[in-house]
Amino acid sequence: MTITIDQTQIAHEEEKKMAPVEAGELVLDGGFAVPSQRKASVEEFYRLNHTHQTFDFVKRMREEYGKLDRVEMSVWECCELLNEFVDESDPDLDEPQIEHLLQTAEAIRKDYPTRTGSTSPASSTVNLGKVLLHPSFGQLPQWAVVGDTFPVGCAFDQSNVHYKRQPEYSTKLGVYAEGCGLNNVMMSWGHDDYMYLVAKKNKTTLPSAGLFIIRYHSFYPLHKSGAYSFLMNEEDKENLKWLHVFNKYDLYSKSKVRIDVESVKPYYLSLIEKYFPAKLKW
């Protein structure tokens, strides 16, 4: 299959990324410059994130939230919960998460109107794990829900955004074996890994690439810099191709064009029904 991306739009975004960075700005993965007035809060966010995201912390979160014993609700009900949140780690987005979720999904749908394979269904559910910010889910702090993700249990790569972390593990492989497969790697805890657990344990029929997109869409050190590729197996390498496709839409679909949620809702309900049960355990 030939993958077509809007090159004009991407070129425009690349020009923005290459523009001189103003004094006091912080540049994050994806090339987005954080305005000086937000620099301190973003730096503090990643200081907390890199300090507290330890191997033991992730193991504890996976055990606790992997029980899926908090609530039963549909995928769309979860989408509506996201109206209450704005991702503080995202310097390019000040709108509720459901807006960006549908912007990305609609951009993919526009280019692939007849395809409902890996990217389309994943794009409509990829950020649902951000319900971890909700009181019903423990109201976790933002550093435990959003932001770029990275493997724990091995050396901290310098390609990680705002690299200042003191390494918990000093060796390249740490507790892992080369080529072990990302499915066997503990990633920093957040909405990506949580939604992956929700989808998998609720027996989604999403293909492997769809689950890969959900779990690793914030893993910028890998899909931007190629870091940690020594942990990948052959299936990971194939799925990474689809993550690169998704990520271009995820980065370049953020816009001020509002989505008429009610008009697109029937399409996404039918897509969700194809890949997920009516009610999921969360």
Residue 100 annotated in ligand binding:
yes
Contact, 52 vs 257, CB < 8 A? no
Provide the strand spans (E) within the chain. Answer: 26-27, 33-34, 72-73, 280-281
> How many CB atoms lie under 10 A from the CB of residue 170?
10
Residue 134 annotated in ligand binding:
no
Which residues lie below 8 Å from residue 10, measured CB to CB, with a gap of 6+?
Answer: 248, 252
Residue 250 annotated in ligand binding:
yes
Which residues lie below 8 Å from residue 170, measured CB to CB, with a gap of 6+?
Answer: 155
Q: Provide the CA 117 distance to its chain's centre, in angstroms.
A: 18
Contact, 140 vs 132, CB < 8 A? yes
Residue 191 annotated in ligand binding:
yes
Which residues contribute to the annotated binding site?
100, 191, 217, 250
Residues forming the annotated binding site for Fe cation? 100, 191, 217, 250
